[in-house]
Structures are given as structure tokens and as C-alpha cells.
């Protein structure tokens, strides 16, 4: 049975991850999902010296076929909407960035149809979405998630008004929305710095190895929680380069454990990130945390140290998981309505 008009395929293709989902258009419920760690960066390297466009199209066709098989669903004729790094200079097909202000109803999205796909899925339209720039910063994919937050608020009969949305990750985004538009945003390399410092700096001798099974969500001890809060507070009082070495001296002089030092380092990096909120965040604007479950506890503790807990709204993890889908659905409906 063909359900071309009832469903679409959602693709979130990031630098280090890939997600493909079969979505009910009416409800935005995810009916089936395929995930891979073969992100844009890995595929760009693997296709070096060859036809990159062909490599991306071939890879996506294979994964769409896998999704069709797993879902036991006829995907032929459905549109697929792709957001993230696929439209970047290292992606499938580079698209120009949209500029600010960027409307939350989706009408400022730059997109291109680069279909069709062959294979078992036989998707007729491949709709590639671009990103957003503000003159000094860029994002690809997160703006679609912001559209998803706006759509989620509308579904709940609410309006974002003026707010700051925090989207933590390898490159965390702080997005300022006002009057139904993205007014500005900033990128913080918090997650990447955490990884680099633990792998390649002298601090690697004082923290847990990066491949350790311990994660922020597993920091349940009083010792690690206190160390994290201490790191957040220290980052508020001094520039980050002036305090980072204390991760090392905590071990040498204070005999602190690697798990405590890892929490301390994480706290300093999150504290440095949140210290910048006052520079551009209106004093009375609500702050929405759009994080996965494993980061919620860290940011919640950091906000408590900053005394900002009353302004913080934490989106449920299951809603955060589908923000890209909600944003893509909004854009898809706008595209189809305009034709």
C-alpha cells in the first residue's frame, strides 16, 4: 500500500552522526528509525578523490533501502527532507546560508530539490535544507531544531516570545529568538574542548580516559557533584586559560581522583559557556534547555550555581529527540503549500 501523502522521510545528517526516520506527517510521530555513525566528515574523507555527490547519493540510497526493509513500508514517491551538514562545503551539495533575522515559520529557509533516489525506496524528492549565518557565525541543522521548538510551543498553544534556546553538543548553540524570528546566535566549542583537553593536553594525566564508561549522567557521588559545581564557580571568577591548570594541581596537591577532576573540568567549561549569557541575554528572558538526558543534569547544576534556575525550562528528552523532525515537517508543509 502506498502512503505517499501520509508520511515523509526525515534525515538529520550531522558531522559525526546520521539519523533516518519514517515520519507520520499528521502527527510527526516517528514510526521507524535507522542510525549510523557515518557522518558527513567520515564520508567526505572516504569519498576524497571521487565524485562526492555520487558517494552521498549512493550511501543515502542504501540506508533508505535499509529503512524501508526495517519498517516493512513502501516509501516510493515520498519526499525526504535533509538538514544538517549535508548542505555544507564538505557535504553532499553546498547551499548558501540564510541570513538573520530568520523566521520561525520556516519561510526564510533556503532549500533545493536534488532528487530523485533510485533503489527500493524510490524517493522522488530529496529536499536539502541550508543553514543560517549572522556575519561572524554559522549553524547548519540547529536552526531546524529551533523551528521544531517553535512548532512544539505552537502545538501546546504557547508562543516563545523572547527567549534564549540552548542546544548543547560538540558545538553548543545559544540562540536568541525574538518576535517570531531568530535574532542572533553564538557557538561554543564546549564539547570539543572537553574532548581535546582530555585527549591531547597535560590534563589527560589527571582525568578519566576519554573512552571511560563514566559519563556526566553517571556522576552520582557527592565528590563528583561538588567538583563539578566548584569548576562552574571558578569559571565565573577568572578567565578559562587562567584556571584550567587547576585540574592538574588538584591531582598533584589535593590528590583528587580522576573522576573528580573530570567533573571539575566539565564544570569549568560549562561555567565559561554560561558566563557569556549576560552579554546578550535579556535579564527577564526565559531560557530553554534543549539537551539530551545525559546533559540535562550537568546544565541544571550549572544553572543552579549561576542562580538562574527559576528562568530555566527543560524540554523533555523525548521532545528534544524529535525537534529536527518537527522543524523539517514545518518546512515541508510550507514547500508543498507554495507549489
**Domain extents for the chain?**
7-140, 157-339
pLDDT band at 76 (very low <50, low <70, confident <90, very high): confident
Question: CA-to-CA distance for 84 and 250, rounded, in angstroms?
Answer: 40
Name the grid cell of 177.
529568538
**Could you give the strand order of the β-sheet that contains 125-129, starting from the edge strand earlier in sequence?**
30-36, 18-24, 7-13, 79-84, 125-129, 111-113
Q: Domain 7-140 is in which class? A: alpha beta
Mean pLDDT of 49-55: 79
Pairing of strands 163-167, 287-289: parallel
The domain 157-339: what is its CATH number?
3.30.420.310
**pLDDT tens readout for residues 194-218:** 999 999 999 999 999 877 554 554 5
Question: CA-to-CA distance for 213 and 149, rounded, in angstroms?
Answer: 31
Mean pLDDT of 42-58: 81
**Helix, coil or strand: residue 169:** coil
Does this chain's domain 7-140 share its CATH topology with 157-339?
yes
pTM: 0.91
Amino acid at each position: 500500500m502506498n502512503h505517499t501523502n501520509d508520511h515523509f522521510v526525515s534525515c538529520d545528517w550531522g558531522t559525526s552522526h546520521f539519523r533516518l526516520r519514517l515520519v507520520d506527517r499528521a502527527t510527526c510521530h516517528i514510526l521507524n528509525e535507522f542510525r549510523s555513525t557515518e557522518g558527513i566528515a567520515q564520508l567526505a574523507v572516504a569519498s576524497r578523490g571521487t565524485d562526492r555527490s555520487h558517494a552521498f547519493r549512493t550511501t543515502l540510497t542504501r540506508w533508505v533501502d535499509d529503512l524501508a526493509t526495517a519498517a516493512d513500508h513502501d516509501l516510493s514517491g515520498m519526499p525526504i527532507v535533509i538538514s544538517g551538514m549535508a548542505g555544507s562545503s564538505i557535504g553532499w551539495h553546498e547551499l548558501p546560508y540564510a541570513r538573520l533575522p530568520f523566521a520561525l515559520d520556516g519561510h526564510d529557509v533556503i532549500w533545493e530539490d536534488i532528487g530523485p533516489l533510485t533503489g527500493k525506496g524510490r524517493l522522488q524528492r530529496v529536499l536539502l535544507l541550508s543553514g543560517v549565518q549572522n556575519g561572524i557565525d554559522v549553524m547548519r541543522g540547529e536552526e531546524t531544531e529551533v523551528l521544531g521548538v517553535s512548532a512544539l510551543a505552537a502545538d501546546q498553544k504557547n508562543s516563545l516570545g523572547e527567549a534564549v534556546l540552548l542546544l548543547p553538543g560538540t558545538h553548543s548553540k545559544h540562540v536568541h529568538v525574538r518576535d517570531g524570528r531568530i535574532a542572533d546566535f553564538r557557538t561554543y566549542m564546549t564539547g570539543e574542548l572537553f574532548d581535546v583537553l582530555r585527549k591531547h593536553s597535560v590534563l589527560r594525566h589527571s582525568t578519566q580516559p576519554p573512552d571511560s564508561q563514566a559519563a556526566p549522567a553517571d556522576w552520582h557521588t557527592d565528590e563528583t557533584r561538588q567538583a563539578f559545581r566548584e569548576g562552574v564557580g571558578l569559571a565565573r571568577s577568572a578567565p578559562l586559560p587562567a584556571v584550567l591548570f587547576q585540574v592538574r594541581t588538584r591531582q598533584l596537591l589535593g590528590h583528587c581522583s580522576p573522576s573528580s577532576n573530570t567533573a571539575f573540568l566539565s564544570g569549568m567549561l560549562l561555567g565559561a559557556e554560561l558566563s557569556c549569557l549576560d552579554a546578550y541575554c535579556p535579564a527577564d528572558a526565559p531560557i530553554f534547555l534543549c539537551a539530551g538526558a545525559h546533559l540535562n543534569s550537568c546544565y541544571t547544576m550549572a544553572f543552579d550555581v549561576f542562580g538562574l534556575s527559576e528562568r530555566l525550562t527543560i524540554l523533555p528528552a523525548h521532545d528534544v529527540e524529535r525537534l529536527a523532525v518537527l522543524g523539517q515537517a514545518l518546512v515541508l508543509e510550507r514547500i508543498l503549500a507554495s507549489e
